Amino acid sequence: MRWQIPLLIVFIGGVFMAVQYFVPLEFSERIYEYCVDWIIIVGVFAMGLGLWSLFRVSVSKIQTKAPAWKYNFLTLAGLFSMILLGLFSGIEEGKAFMKLFWYIYTPIQASMFALLAFYVASAAYRAFRARTLVATILLLTAVVIMLRLIPLGSVSGLNQNVASWILTVPNMAAKRAIAMGIGLGGIATALKVVLGIERSYMGKD
């Protein structure tokens, strides 16, 4: 019964959601809206579980003095300071919570994205080295797409037309193929979960 009841709940929920989507009724729509409200509630509890997991992992690293364990003090300090300031001083503009958000969190986030730019440039350099015919086509395509935002005089119109064709024909075909693959993969995964084949969400089999 330890496994059967959760599998039965998932099966009934999955079949109901599928039937409600394809055969909507007033009664089933009310149940659907009720379930959506519960999903929000479960999400809130999941957020609390995530915070507890972050706390436990940070404390464990501090206790075992794992590599770079001192940074976990900053993690815990930031976690508790934001929670306490948000609860007791409010989150209105001008409060200490928003000052920490704008003057500490936002610059850190901007710095992380700035560092990612170097990784993207490094990956692009490795991918665009014209060693094969496919890599050469990829390199030329990237150059045309990047130059479409730069005024090139008399060549600008031609470059704009070529870049527009690349984005609307080959690129769109690839995006649709990827979207179809994602959709089929999602359907297959949902069927495996509903039918009880995929049970990783319950822990180890």
pLDDT tens, residue order, the chain (205 aa): 677 888 888 898 888 888 888 887 888 888 888 888 888 999 999 999 999 999 999 999 999 988 889 999 999 999 999 989 988 888 888 888 999 889 998 999 899 888 887 887 787 777 767 678 887 888 888 888 888 877 776 667 787 888 889 999 999 999 999 999 999 999 999 999 888 888 887 775 5
Q: What pLDDT score does 204 carry?
A: 58
The pLDDT value given to residue 130: 66
User: 142, 147, 135, 193: which is closest to 171 by C-alpha?
Assistant: 142
C-alpha to C-alpha distance for 14 and 94, rounded to whole angstroms: 46
Q: What is the pLDDT of residue 45?
A: 93
Rounded distance between C-alpha atoms, residue 113 and residue 120, angstroms:
10
Calpha distance 137→151 (Å, rounded): 23
Q: What is the pLDDT of residue 184?
A: 95
Report yes or no: 28 and 18 within 8 Å, Cβ to Cβ.
no
179 token code pair: 């979207």
167-186 burial, b at 16+ Cβ within 10 Å, e below that, comes to eeeeeeeeeeeeeeeeeeee
Which is nearest to 161 in space by CA: 140, 145, 142, 139?
A: 145
In this prediction, residue 94 carries a pLDDT of: 84
Residue whose pair of structure tokens reads 């170097």 in the numeric block: 118
Give CA torsion, residues 130, 131, 133, 138, to 10 deg: -40
Q: How far is CA 73 from CA 62, 95, 168, in A?
A: 8, 24, 50
Left, alpha or beta for 198 (phi > 0: left; psi -120 to 50: alpha)? beta
CA distance 121 to 142: 13
By the 8 A CB rule, do 28 and 16 touch?
yes
Structure tokens that stand for 190 in this block: 């949902």
Write down the pLDDT at residue 177: 95
